[in-house]
Structure 1
Amino acid sequence: MRIVVLGASGTLGTLLVSRLRADGHEVVEASRSTGVDAYTGTGLREAFAGADAVIDSLSKVTLSAATAIEFFTTTAGNICSEARRAGVGHLVCVSIAGAADGEVNRRYGYYRGKAAQEHAYRTSGLPVTLIHSTQWFELVPLMLQMTTLGPVAVLPTMRMAPVAAESVAQLVAQEAIRTSREAERGGREPAVRTVAIRGPETATAAEVARRMIDVLGSAGGKAPQRILEVPLFGRAMAGGGLIPDAAVVDGVTLEEWMDRQRSAPSDQGGPVEAREAVPSLDPSAEGLHTEEVLEAYDYVIVGAGMAAAKAVEGIRAEDGTGSIGVFGADPAAPVYRPDLSKTLWVDPEATLQGSLMVSGPPVLEGAPDENTRFHLGTTVAALTPDEHSITLAGGRSVRYGRLLLATGAEPRTAGLEPGERVIYYRTVADYRRLRELATPGAHVVVVGGGYIGSEMAAVLTQNSVRVTLVVTGEPLLTQMFPAALARTVTQEFRDRGVEIVEGRLAGGTERADGVDVRLEDGTRIAADAAVVGVGVEPRTELAQAAGLAVEDGVLVDEHLRTGAHSVYAAGDVARYPDRLLGIRRVEHAAAAETMGKIAGRNMAGAGRPYRTTPFFWSDLFDYGYEAVGELDTRHTMVEDWAVGEDGEPDHSTGVVYYLNHLGAVRGVLLWNVWDSVKLAREVIGRTAEEPVTEPESLKGSIPLG
């Protein structure tokens, strides 16, 4: 039998490999050291080829929920995808008792991550066995390594029935072999089976640690004089919420386990797989250097999106060694945000990993250097410019030399509260959740017919999802496009199967299996999920509380400096002087990238003015466009369309110029006309200095092909 063991270089993985091979099975060792990376998906396809079963024994050391959730959901998703492609007969996942219990995982990030992993496997549709083990004996030395400071260690109040890793390995191997043989014989196993294992005795983590130190002299190389217990993680864990009622009972006691450790050549100090560096979006990945928040940084960036990622690049272009601390409330690392509503839905080869703007391991392009630390899932509660300090949500103060506000924008809510099936589409987490819900044949209501709403309606439809698009009026995008083009686009949506409903969102309710959306005229729409895109607001609360000038964004000068000494702003939150169009705030990717880069360079002393007028773009089925400036149909519009064989305007290709009352072009729409953004900027600049008196003379300024 051919069995793939993921995490083969770790404690459990090593035991599994040895046991399976001793029983005569062909084992594929899959770990980063063998060129297989479950997080990026690298090597999974080759490893799974011809496999009868796959065992997921991956682990991740963290107390951060964001870290754990990102790692385990990503790896599980990649494993399921490749297992399905390879026709693997069975998956076995080593999970942990109590992980899915909200009372247990509420305060313990690692358990929340394991719960997310279980959910990914349970909903995959593949035959899966979940092994719920209580904590291993081997975990306690690792916990001591992480929490010992001088003579004192602090462990959570955690009542458990620890088991030996050898026993877990034996059970996992048996399950993989048994279920694979059942599949070969044509037996029908349930899609998901759960088997729990617990030790023969119960104790708290602190009690186990004390006994280990008494007998072995140290645990994980640590021998603290005092072990304190802190009830950080709630009553359920302290009261034994980690101990399953119905379980296979391991026969190995702590004393027996310690006898084996005495005869071992050295104290290994904990599971090896937990120490293995794994490329990851999560904040503890090697290369993101988030294991510690420093007392001070030369540069602090508040916000961890696109502008922040480019600001790091800008700083490094001027200062190669200064310390940088990036603090982001979002637990996901920066991604190229347009991919969330474009490429990831229509390109089968696209992955979230490929959309990363900051990668984990130092060997990968885009990895931050050793003096750059990303603190993701970390909220900045206050900014005090006079003291050059920020205050984190937990009360800790961090000093800075110069600071960038890249806090971005947040979605406007509109009568329907965000939830598991109500998504105000903005983040990586939103993308992941919508991917789970938007399966072929599912029904999704998209509320809002603007930029993001129209994009999401189009890509969901292209993924065989039934879409109802709620708009305030028809035709679509009349605030941006000339009437004839808007009618053409609206008809394209209908021809593709999108149901368009006029109305305004009044409210609704979320059910366990769907949503009910209610409009102001009383119309009710039942669906599997709702995506709401009705605009965003800049996140200015931090700046406003710090006394910075705020007016639909944080006001900055041409160097992207605020009125406070050494504080800059960039991206969605910044209201800046555009050299062509005057004071404005832009919510598009190109603005975040270009402003972030210049802000970073200026923080490091470059003194460069920001001279870019950003462009934006979208794809709507087979139509695509790029645009610069103000696409506002309240302006005078000059339409320059290709001509069809019938002599009528052909709305498949054209340029639209938007002029103000003075004859200055304020915006240009390039409809299926490419590589002409520079020409569009030139037209805007030229007409600002020399307004046109005959608008029709603009036709031909930008070639159509």
Structure 2
Amino acid sequence: MRIVVLGASGTLGTLLVDLLRADGHEVVPASRSTGVDAFTGRGLQEAFAGADAVIDAISQVSFSAAKAIGYFTTTAGNICAEARRAGVGRLVCVSIAGATDGEVNRAYGYYRGKAAQEHAYRSSGLPVTLIHSTQWFELVPVMLRMTTLGPVALLPTMRMAPVAAESVARLVAEEAVRPAGDQAGGSDAGREPQVRTVAIRGPETATAAEVARRMIEGLGSVGGRAPRRILEAPLFGRAMAGGGLIPEASIVDGVTLDEWMERRRSAPDGPGGPEAAATPALDPSAAGVHTDEVLDAYDYVIVGAGMAAAKAVEGIRTEDATGSIGLFGTDTAAPVYRPDLSKTLWVDPEASLEGSLMVSGAEGSEHRPDANTQFHLGTTVAALAPDEHSITLADGRSVRYGKLLLATGAGPRTAGLPPGGRVIYYRTVADYRRLRELAAPGVHVVVVGGGYIGSEVAAVLTQNRVRVTLVAPGEPLLAQMFPESLARTVTQEFRDRGVEIVLGRLAGGSEREDGVTVRLEDGTEIAADAAVVGVGVEPRTELARAAGLAVDQGVLVDEHLRTGAHSIYAAGDVARYPDRLLGVRRVEHASAAETMGKMAGRNMAGAGKPYRTTPFFWSDLFDLGYEAVGELDARHTMVEDWAVGADGEPDHSTGVVYYLNPVGSVRGVLLWNVWDSVKAARELIARTAEEPVADPGSLRGTIPLG
């Protein structure tokens, strides 16, 4: 059978891929790192083509009911719709016991989200199996990481009958290959002939705190945490405390907690099990994509090792299956999906750096380079000679090319405080790994910069129980992007979450062995354990400029992403290109790197296609989230269209903001907690470019809020 596993980079997804392949099935691992995003629908059509079964093992940690419901409803809806189009014979959804119990899900937003997900699957009209588990042993390390503060951890009064993730994976795998017409044994058999519900529980029942205490006693530490005291708190309601999460009609797994711990003690990872390997080394040899055997010449040379570079390899292979590719990157880390560094990796306990890899040398990986593609990581290109079709490496070696792509990206602006062990200009995998080491619960981190990256880092650190002081040039936060009413709402959310906001600009400071001191222009000094500085980036144009290429706030390219030099292209953060809707611009977001990198690769291999995408971008700030297209510049005329609350006042939890130039053309659209509307926003920008709006207020309602 051909089986698609959604959420393939998580704990359960990884186990499922291995199990199903071992049983001889063709498996398509699907996750954002493989280019499949169930929330936006990106890549689902390609992944589902010819699939016999689809497994939804996607998860998202959220205490917000609104966010969880929106996320799981959208992903399940997209999956079901595409499964119907593709003729998929069976859907298997991994849910959780108690999701549809009103006494349980009213206490915790995640359960309400899973209930909405189940409703979408039950209503799909497709053969569906819903898998309910009574929590995994693997959940406890995640809970401890989230709730440990110094020597004390606070866990919910929640009764568990935990099972091993391997047991859940085996059950899910068996359900995925079950013939669609075989409904025998399901708890819904005879009532809903297309829906089968199966639950699994372990042989022992205890509270989460009791399980955690036994794990720490037996393993020494769990998930990197070993609190001396574990306190219980009835955070999740009486039904959960009374056993509402433990269904009577369920398969009983035989693995006891002692047996599970014994496996962890004897595993190669040692005590603590797979959590210890959650952030694998991404040095060149570990990634499996490095080679010292640099060839004298390649058909295609890519300079840079970021997202645009990785997608360029994919683009080349779309048009040319065999041409030789040599990629050269100064960074020693293999390319990763960069948004994860300030988003998913901090808030999703299932996420890992390995799952964020866009290129991997691991045996059997979907991202493993082919034999004609060589990644030379930790290798600097010192010079480019367009007339000679060659590059010179830092060690003096010369390499010829047929076509070349500059994907050198952008580097962080430094501002008076030199980078160091406790001063991080947040940009790379190494930066993420260092901040992870420092950002233990209770430590104090100063985040300098109240813009896009600074606000994201401040939010995710706070969600990981780090004390955060955010230094911003002005208040309200993000006022350069948002209308004042929204900016004030966002600012209040940061304060309500415990973020201390200090107004000022970085002037300097110092680093000590055990901390840092940040000095602002007005003389204010802030002492902390670490500092993260995000005050903007500059495109890395030095190589292009020295080679005589046209540079103006980026490397200038035409609509085919070609520079003025023969056979040289540029893409990603470094490229300034003619946007078909907004004119010449440079964009520093993931969508631009992905779409531009892939099109550049295709054109290097002869596709001859113009780049017509106007990229979008997005962010999550605690439970606030948005997508946006174009110029979010508060200097434009802004038209706000908010939902209306019960009190008749604007509700800033949901809305659309339109940004217009003086002529009346829409130059940007902010979709605040409004999803699946990027296409509509692009169409509006295109339409008003030809037909400007005479009455800006008439735009309200153009893009629906629901």
TM-score in terms of structure 1 length:
0.62
CA-CA distance at 1:361 after TM superposition: 2.5
Matched-pair contact (CA < 8 Å) for 2:656–2:671 = yes
Q: Give the direction of change, closer, same or farther, for the CA distance of 1:86–1:375 in structure 2 (3 Å limit).
A: farther
**Cα contact 1:412–1:534 (8 A) shared by 2:** yes
Kindly indicate whether the alpha-carbon contact (under 8 Å) linking 2:508 and 2:518 is maintained by their aligned counterparts in 1.
Answer: yes
Counterpart in the other structure of 1:447: 448
Question: What corresponds to 2:352 in structure 1?
Answer: 351
DSSP-derived class of the 2:608 partner: coil
Q: Which amino acid aligns with 2:629?
A: V
Pairwise CA distance, 1:342: 0.3
1:284 deviates by 2.9
How many aligned positions are there?
A: 453
1:622-665 CA distances to partner (integer Å, 9 max, x unpaired)? Answer: 10000000000000000000001111111000000000001000
Alignment partner, residue 583 of structure 1: 584
The one-letter code matched in structure 2 to 1:474 is E
Is the 1:289–1:372 contact (alpha carbons within 8 Å) kept by the matching residues of 2?
Answer: no
Q: Where does residue 395 of structure 1 map in the other structure?
A: 396
Query: 1:559–1:529: structure 2 CA closer, same or farther, 3 Å change rule?
Result: same
Q: What value does the CA root-mean-square deviation take over the aligned residues? A: 2.8
Instruction: Measure the CA separation in 2 of the matches of 1:280 and 1:530.
Output: 24
- Give the alignment of 1:446-525 within 5 angstroms: 446-525=447-526
Look up the match of 2:191. none
Structure 2 letter corresponding to 1:304: A
Q: 1:209 maps to which residue? A: none
When residues 319 and 477 of structure 1 are mapped into structure 2, their CA distance, relative to the original with a 3 A threshold, is same
2-side partners of 1:448 and 1:382: how far apart? 34
Mapping of 1:268-287 within 5 angstroms?
Answer: 281-285=282-286
Q: Supply the distance in 1 between the matched residues of 2:547 and 2:483 (Cα, whole angstroms).
A: 43
What does residue 323 of structure 1 align with? Answer: 324
The equivalences for 1:564-643 within 5 A come to 564-643=565-644
Equivalence for 1:539: 540
* Alignment pair present for 1:688 and 2:705: no
SS in 2 for 1:311: helix
**8 A contact 2:220–2:226 mirrored in 1:** no
* 1:677 alignment partner in structure 2: 678
Q: Shift of residue 290 of structure 1? A: 1.6
Shift of 1:367: 1.0
Q: Match for residue 182 of structure 2?
A: none
Single out whichever of 609-618 and 358-367 deviates more from structure 2. Answer: 358-367
CA displacement at 1:289 relative to structure 2: 5.2
Compute the displacement of 1:281 (Å).
3.3
Q: Is the 8 A contact 1:667 1:684 kept in 2?
A: yes
Match of 2:291 in 1: 290
Per the alignment, residue 379 of structure 1 pairs with 380
Question: Residues 193-232 of structure 1 correspond to what in structure 2 (within 5 A)?
Answer: none
Mapped to 2, the partners of 1:85 and 1:637 lie a distance apart of 55
Aligned counterparts of 1:86 and 1:351: Cα–Cα separation in 2? 23
Q: Which amino acid aligns with 1:389?
A: S
> 1:407 — aligned with what?
408
1:298 maps to amino acid? D
Give the direction of change, closer, same or farther, for the CA distance of 1:124–1:461 in structure 2 (3 Å limit).
Answer: closer
Which deviations, in whole Å up to 9, do the C-alpha atoms of 1:589-611 show, x marking residues without a partner? Answer: 00000000000000000000000
Q: CA deviation at 1:280?
A: 6.6
1:283 Cα shift? 2.0
Q: Is the 8 A contact 2:290 2:377 kept in 1?
A: no
Give the residue type in structure 2 aligned to 1:678: K
Cα distance in 2 for residues equivalent to 1:454 and 1:631:
16
Deviation at 1:537, TM superposition (A): 0.2
SS at match of 2:527: strand
Deviation per residue, 1:216-246 (Å, 9 max, x gap): xxxxxxxxxxxxxxxxxxxxxxxxxxxxxxx
d(CA) in 2 for partners of 1:398 and 1:328? 14
The answer for the alignment partner of 2:549 in structure 1 is 548
Alignment of 1:421-440 (within 5 A): 421-440=422-441
1:575 to partner: Cα distance: 0.1
Three-state SS of the structure 1 residue aligned to 2:285 is coil
> Which residue identity lines up with residue 442 of structure 2 in the other structure?
G
C-alpha distance in structure 2 between counterparts of 1:86 and 1:397, whole Å: 55
Q: Distance in 2 between matches of 1:457 and 1:566?
A: 42
Other structure's SS at 2:486 match: helix
Structure 1 residues 286, 350: CA separation in 2 closer, same or farther (over 3 Å shift)? closer
Q: Which residue number corresponds to residue 647 of structure 1?
A: 648
Match of 1:529 in 2: 530
Residues 514 and 526, structure 1, Cα contact 8 Å, conserved in 2: yes
* Native 8 Å contact 2:297 2:400 kept in 1: yes
One-letter amino acid matched to 1:617: W
d(CA) in 2 for partners of 1:285 and 1:470? 37
Contact preservation (8 Å) 2:570, 2:600? yes
Relative distance call for 1:85 and 1:620 in structure 2 (3 A) is: farther
Show the counterpart of 1:252.
none
TM-score by length of 2: 0.62
SS in 2 for 1:522: coil
Report what 2:303 is aligned to. Answer: 302
- Give the AA of the match of 1:624: G
Distance 1:286 1:352 in 2: 11
1-structure distance, mates of 2:492, 2:309: 39
